[in-house]
């Protein structure tokens, strides 16, 4: 690879693009990311021209729709199912240009570092190590200064500036000087805190010993013949302790009862029983109360006056010290803000440090970039770097797919649903993003299970009013409430009353069997769709065998089709049917042979394992299908709870009826609504995600400049 060509004269030679780009890069593109095309049409009549334009417009819109589905349109706010195509980039540059390169990559916000070690053994150096060490020390010093000075302002980055090692080292030295000044102020504050702590201890001791009418100086000084013990004992242990110390020849005086403890003084002769007494005190929960210095040679009134004077002196010294700190902070505010700005601009290179390797003056940096952002990244590097560089791009290999990050959809409406999906995991690169499907099916099931115009309106209104606290989850609550309202119109239910609104279909309790059939059909469609998505995801990541024979793969889906057909035949004609039976037996036999080939051990053990796994396949699909009956069961339960509340209210007077209706509806909203939410999540996670969503990917985390944040 030649390293002597100036960038102004020629671009570096590139490896052939194996991603979505074919042929050489075209610098001039339209906003949709496609090469500009100029089409010249012969002069014909206006009708033909209109038809041609309409045809081209239609083709253009269809092309844009396909790009949107593929994620090639640069709009992260639009939901998409297929993953955004990614490419692996390898940037080779001179070490001197590393700060500029990191800034360029951070400004694009499209570079996810690849921290794997290089394949070439020669690239063993870590060019950014010294830079990182200086940065870490400077940031540590700034953090300690900011903690003392309580600097809350955020710097304005303004125009991006390259921070080289010399600038960073000079900043580190300046912060070292500032930290010396700030540390002296911190030591002064610590001294004040220590004096206040001692003063509080003396005040607490004076309060503890106020009712003890003896000279504390005598108790503090050890005598030749007597031992004194002053402390706290749990109230329930006082009588037992009194008897125990009496056996040791000591007396116990209970001079104060406070809370659950008794303040006691134990006096006795010095002698051989001191060790015995120590074990008795420990078993009784005795806590010694030390007598601090400074309160044994003055009266209580003198001590209280002295404490007040010392408090006033400490407050005056603290006020003066705080004013000194304020003056120091105001004097150095601009320097500290500038230091924070410099560290924010230097942070991208520090973040890249684990991804940078090199030899001598050559540095190599690898990462992942969305295909649509390659040209923008190249242009940014051309604009920032001063020395020659080479940028290589290629598609991820099959072995690299688990390492490729997944670009999330930044859509405000789908944000709360995306958060719930992330609780299960991140889609692996190549898998379908389940967030849009999760949002639609979640709202449909919640609405059917909790269909009520009034209750849905309350949920939506509550979410809207609490939008400042709920933030992105406000949209989740509003969407759930609207779904509940729509199904409330379908069922003709408002706060459980089913005769105020005409039902668009029917109330759930009018025909429970039909409701259960609808739920069963919904469950069958849901499971088939989940298995189909699972098959697609395994094919997309190159796991063909898993798509065929893994749990919920193609063979499992064929078994489920045969199982459903046989069940339909049993219900309609009383027999399972020949073809459904052959499909079921063939699918189970295929799965059994596959499991047998992957087992090791005695033959009897293998037979038992294969039998259990085969039986588990049948039970799982049967139980999972029946599990969706809860969708209708909860809609029936919702109507039944409303009837129970109205029945109870009719048995009471006017005031009792109002209270019962209010509390009953609150009960339905809080308890039943929460249970329905949990049941829907259970169906999504267990019946859906477990079939088609691995969740073992990792999220795209590009290098960015953190505007206005503390480094």
- Same domain membership, residue 611 and residue 533: yes
- Higher-pLDDT residue of 137, 82: 137
Does the pLDDT value for residue 152 go beyond 80? no
Residues β-bridged to residue 253: 265
At 446, the pLDDT band (50, 70, 90 cuts) reads: very high
Domain stops at, among 373, 390, 407? 407
Are 186 and 334 within one domain? Answer: yes
Burial label, 473 (beta-carbon count in 10 A; 0-12, 13-18, 19+): middle
Beta strands 251-258; 389-394: pairing state? unpaired
pLDDT tens digits, one per residue of 224-268 = 677 778 788 888 888 888 888 888 778 888 877 777 788 888 888
Q: What is the mean pLDDT of residues 25-39?
A: 36
Is 307 part of a structural domain of the chain? no
Tell me: do 379 and 397 sit in the same domain: yes
Integer CA distances (angstroms), 636 to 69, 444, 640, 668, in order: 39, 16, 6, 13
pLDDT of residue 64: 55
**Residue 282's pLDDT is what?**
83
With beta carbons less than 8 A apart as the criterion, state whether 703 and 335 touch.
no
If one compares 613 and 161, the residue with the highest pLDDT of the two is 613
Q: How many domains does the chain have?
A: 4
| Domain annotation covers residue 182 | yes
Contacts of 19 (CB under 8 A, 6+ apart): 85, 87, 371, 374, 393, 394, 395
Residue 40 lies in a domain: no
**Rounded Cα gap, residues 250 and 7, in angstroms:** 95
371 occurs within a structural domain: yes
pLDDT at 159 (0 to 100): 65
Same domain, 217 and 192: no
What per-residue confidence (pLDDT) applies to 374?
93
Domain membership of residue 11 (yes or no) is yes
Please determine, for residue 539, whether its predicted confidence score (pLDDT) is greater than 70.
yes
The 3 state secondary structure assigned to 597-648 is HCCCCCHHHHHHHHHHHHHHHHHHHHHHHHHCHHHHHHHHHHHHHHHHHHHH
Query: Is the pLDDT reported for residue 629 higher than 80?
Result: yes
324 neighbors 181 (Cβ within 8 angstroms) = no
CA angle centred on 562, ends 556 and 567, rounded to 5°: 125
Per-residue pLDDT band for 11 (boundaries 50, 70, 90) equals very low
All residues at 6 or more sequence positions from 594 whose CB lies less than 8 Å from its CB, including other chains: 549
Task: For residues 278 and 263, state if they share a domain.
Answer: yes
Confidence at residue 490, expressed as pLDDT on a 0 to 100 scale: 95
User: Is residue 442 predicted with pLDDT exceeding 90?
Assistant: yes
Nearest to 175 by CA among 148, 205, 203: 148
**pLDDT above 80 for 140:** yes
Residue 558 has pLDDT above 90, yes or no: yes
In this prediction, residue 223 carries a pLDDT of 66
User: 177 and 92 in one domain?
Assistant: no
- For residues 545 and 424, membership in a common domain is answered with yes
On whether residue 461 sits in a domain, the answer given is yes
pLDDT of residue 214: 64
Residues 38-96 pLDDT 10s? 333 334 455 555 556 556 665 665 555 555 444 444 555 556 667 789 999 999 999 88
pLDDT at 297: 63
C-alpha 456/C-alpha 349 separation (Å) is: 50
Residue range of the domain that includes 556: 415-692
- Residue 35 pLDDT: 36
235 and 372 in a common domain: no
Is 583 inside any structural domain? yes
Contact of 108 with 373, CB cutoff 8 Å: yes
pLDDT (0 to 100) of residue 269:
80
| Whether residue 33 has pLDDT greater than 90 | no
Distance in angstroms (rounded) separating the CA atoms of residues 560 and 576: 14
Beta strand segments in 192-304, E: 226-234, 251-258, 261-269, 287-288
Higher confidence at residue 377 or residue 246?
A: 377
**Can you tell me the mean pLDDT for 653-663?**
90
**Pair (204, 223) in one structural domain:** no
pLDDT computed for residue 239 by the predictor: 86
Q: Which residue has the tokens 């099916």?
A: 441
pLDDT digits (tens, 9 = 90+) for 181-207: 889 988 999 999 988 887 887 777 677
Q: Considering the domain boundaries, does residue 704 fall inside one?
A: no
Residue in 119, 82, 128 with CA at minimum distance from that of residue 101: 128
pLDDT at 118: 82
Q: What is the CATH number of the domain that holds 260?
A: 3.30.70.2750
Sorted by sequence, the CB contacts under 8 Å of residue 158 that are 6+ apart come out as: none
Question: Average of pLDDT values for 207-223?
Answer: 65
User: Strand, coil or helix: what is 4?
Assistant: coil
Report the candidate in 357, 363, 374 with the shortest Cα–Cα distance to residue 108: 374
User: What is the per-residue pLDDT for 42?
Assistant: 38
422, two tokens: 């992330």
User: Who wins on pLDDT, 58 or 465?
Assistant: 465
Spell out the residues 6+ positions from residue 571 whose beta carbon is closer than 8 angstroms to its own.
none
Q: Give the start-end residues of each E strand in 180-285.
A: 226-234, 251-258, 261-269
Question: Measured between alpha carbons, how far is 231 from 284 in angstroms, rounded to an integer?
Answer: 12
φ, ψ for residue 165 (rounded to 5)? Answer: -65, -35
The CATH code of the domain that includes 16 is 3.30.70.240
Do 252 and 228 fall into the same domain? yes
Q: For the residues 688-702, what does the mean pLDDT come to?
A: 89
Residues 444 and 547 in one domain: yes
Q: Residues 234, 258: contact at Cβ < 8 Å?
A: no
Burial category of 483 from C-beta neighbours within 10 Å (exposed 0-12, middle 13-18, buried 19 and up):
buried
Is the Cβ–Cβ distance between 366 and 92 less than 8 Å? no
Residues 370 and 444 in one domain: no
Q: Which residue has the higher pLDDT, 287 or 561?
A: 561
State the average pLDDT over residues 146-174: 81
Specify whether the CB–CB gap between 476 and 467 falls below 8 A: no
| Location of structure tokens 């609504």 | 673
Please provide the DSSP assignment of 511-536 as one string.
-HHHHHHHHHHHHHHHHHHHHHHHHH
Q: Are 363 and 98 in contact (CB under 8 A)?
A: yes
3 state SS for 664-691: HHHHHHHHHHHHHHHHHHHHHHHHHHHH
Report the mean per-residue pLDDT for the chain: 82
pLDDT at position 23 over 50: no
Q: Distance between CA atoms of 600 and 640, rounded to whole angstroms?
A: 54
Question: pLDDT for 481-536, tens place per residue?
Answer: 999 999 999 999 999 888 888 999 999 999 999 999 999 999 999 999 999 999 99
């Amino acid at each position: 690879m030649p390293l002597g060509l100036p960038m102004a004269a020629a671009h570096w030679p590139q490896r052939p693009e194996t991603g979505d780009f074919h042929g050489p890069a075209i610098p001039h593109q339209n906003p949709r990311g496609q090469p500009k095309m100029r089409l010249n049409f012969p002069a014909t009549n206006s009708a033909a021209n209109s038809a041609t334009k309409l045809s081209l417009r239609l083709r253009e819109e269809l092309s844009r729709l396909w790009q949107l589905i593929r994620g090639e349109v640069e709009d992260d706010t639009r939901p998409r199912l297929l993953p955004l195509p990614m490419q692996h980039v390898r940037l080779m540059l001179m070490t001197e240009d590393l700060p500029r390169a990191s800034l360029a990559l951070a400004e694009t916000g499209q570079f996810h570092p690849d921290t794997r070690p290089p394949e070439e053994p020669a690239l063993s150096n870590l060019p950014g190590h010294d830079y990182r060490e200086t940065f870490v020390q400077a940031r540590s010093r700034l953090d300690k200064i900011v903690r003392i000075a309580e600097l809350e302002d955020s710097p304005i980055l303004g125009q991006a500036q390259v921070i080289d090692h010399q600038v960073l080292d000079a900043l580190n030295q300046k912060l070292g000087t500032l930290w010396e000044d700030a540390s002296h102020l911190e030591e002064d504050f610590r001294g004040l805190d220590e004096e206040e702590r001692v003063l509080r201890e003396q005040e607490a001791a004076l309060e503890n010993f106020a009712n003890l009418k003896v000279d504390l100086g005598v108790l503090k000084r050890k005598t030749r013949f007597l031992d004194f013990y002053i402390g706290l004992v749990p109230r329930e242990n006082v009588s037992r302790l009194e008897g125990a110390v009496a056996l040791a020849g000591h007396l116990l005086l209970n001079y104060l009862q406070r809370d659950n403890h008794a303040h006691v003084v134990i006096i006795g002769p010095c002698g051989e029983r001191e060790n015995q007494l120590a074990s008795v005190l420990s078993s009784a929960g005795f806590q010694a109360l030390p007598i601090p210095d400074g309160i044994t040679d003055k009266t209580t009134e003198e001590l209280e006056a002295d404490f007040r004077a010392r408090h006033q002196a400490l407050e005056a010294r603290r006020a003066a010290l705080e004013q000194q700190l304020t003056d120091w902070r105001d004097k150095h505010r601009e320097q500290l803000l500038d230091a924070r700005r410099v560290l924010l601009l230097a942070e991208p290179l520090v973040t890249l440090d684990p991804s940078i390797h090199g030899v001598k003056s050559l540095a190599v940096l690898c990462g992942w970039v969305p295909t649509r952002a390659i040209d923008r990244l190249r242009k940014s590097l051309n604009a920032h770097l001063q020395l020659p560089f080479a940028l290589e791009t290629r598609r991820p290999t099959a072995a690299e797919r688990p390492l490729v990050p997944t670009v999330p959809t930044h859509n405000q409406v789908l944000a709360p649903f995306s958060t719930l999906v992330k609780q299960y995991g991140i889609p692996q690169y190549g898998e379908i993003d389940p967030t849009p499907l999760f949002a639609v099916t979640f709202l449909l099931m919640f609405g059917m299970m909790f269909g009520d115009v009034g209750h849905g309106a309350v949920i939506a209104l509550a979410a809207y009013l609490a939008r400042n606290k709920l933030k992105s989850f406000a949209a989740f609550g509003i969407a759930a409430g609207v779904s509940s309202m729509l199904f409330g119109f379908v069922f003709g239910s408002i706060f459980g009353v089913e005769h105020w609104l005409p039902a668009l279909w029917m109330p759930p309790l009018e025909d429970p069997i039909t409701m259960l059939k609808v739920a069963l059909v919904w469950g069958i469609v849901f499971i088939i769709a989940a298995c189909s998505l699972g098959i697609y995801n395994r094919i997309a990541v190159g796991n063909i065998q898993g798509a065929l024979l893994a749990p919920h793969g193609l063979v499992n889906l064929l078994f489920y089709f045969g199982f459903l057909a046989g069940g339909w035949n049993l219900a309609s004609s009383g027999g399972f049917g020949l073809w459904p039976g052959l499909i079921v037996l063939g699918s189970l036999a295929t799965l059994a042979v596959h499991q047998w080939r992957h087992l090791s051990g005695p033959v009897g053990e293998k037979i038992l394992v294969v039998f259990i796994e085969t039986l588990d396949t049948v039970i799982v699909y049967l139980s999972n299908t029946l599990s969706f009956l809860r969708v209708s069961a909860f809609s029936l339960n919702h109507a039944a709870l409303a009837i129970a509340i109205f029945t109870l209210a009719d048995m009471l007077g006017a005031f009792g009826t109002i209270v019962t209706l209010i509390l009953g509806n609150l009960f339905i909203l809080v308890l039943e609504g929460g249970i329905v939410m949990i049941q829907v999540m259970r169906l999504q996670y267990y019946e859906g995600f477990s079939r088609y969503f691995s969740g073992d990917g990792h999220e795209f985390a590009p290098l960015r400049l953190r505007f206005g944040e503390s480094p």
